[in-house]
Amino acid sequence: LELNGFIPDAALVLGGDGTLLAVARKLREFQIPLLGINLGHVGFLTEVEEEDWHPSLELLLAQKGRISQRMALEFRVEREGAVVHTGWALNDVVLNRGRIARLIGLDIVVDEQPVGPFRADGLIVATPTGTTAYAVSAGGPLVHPELEAICLTPICPFMSHIRPMVFAAKHRIRVDITRQSAEACLTVDGQVGLDLVPGDSIYLHRSALDARFITLRPKAYLDKLRSKGYF
């Protein structure tokens, strides 16, 4: 996306949550506030419903509302001592099994403290914004999107007592794909996929670049969860 030196006051994003996530990744370095207009299905991340676009734009042009800061994750994949992938995620980074339905071996380390190896279908490393996506379906917690935390949710762990965990955003996470693991993959925000091999290490930490969402009307977080069918 080429802005040619022009930095707008805001960006209107027409689509659903997936469109908003993709645009947030493209514009992250510019820190442009985003206003999502829901033309998709759930639209949990978008601020405006389709039928309300006109009065919402009037509020925007009148400079009403506020900016909601959303923390994001940065990650890198190291293989045999070399960095082979890097990226930025607003929702989540998911480590998952490959094409064959076999468990993968994962070993989690938090700030050099071992959490312990386990086998599972995968692991979801989510931001608070991303807890309403894949993480909650896998049994993870719902976390208010403006908190700063890193949420780890195992996907169908096998014969393991490991549970979903929430860490302060200052912590650094390392996940090793064990040498005995089946093939695995990494998915960014449910949109970008990367192949992993046994022995890979994935390093994750809070990004210095937040996403910035425009909020026009005060609405309680629980009310939004209820309106979108979370309970």
* Spatial CB neighbours of 29, under 8 Å, sequence gap ≥ 6: 209
For tokens 């206003």, what's the residue?
Answer: 35
Q: Which amino acid appears at position 183 of this protein?
A: E
**Residue 122, helix vs strand vs coil:** strand
Q: How far is CA 166 from CA 114, 145, 198, in A?
A: 15, 13, 26
DSSP 216: -
Decide if 90 contacts 44 (C-beta within 8 A): no
Strand partners, 205: 74
Q: What CA–CA distance (Å, rounded) separates 82 from 84?
A: 6
Q: Is residue 17 flagged as an active site residue?
A: yes
* Spatial CB neighbours of 79, under 8 Å, sequence gap ≥ 6: 197, 199, 200, 201
For tokens 């985003």, what's the residue?
Answer: 34
Q: What CA–CA distance (Å, rounded) separates 71 from 75?
A: 14
Catalytic residue among 9, 17, 121, 189: 17
* Spatial CB neighbours of 58, under 8 Å, sequence gap ≥ 6: none
Decide if 104 contacts 177 (C-beta within 8 A): yes
**Catalytic residues, which ones?**
17
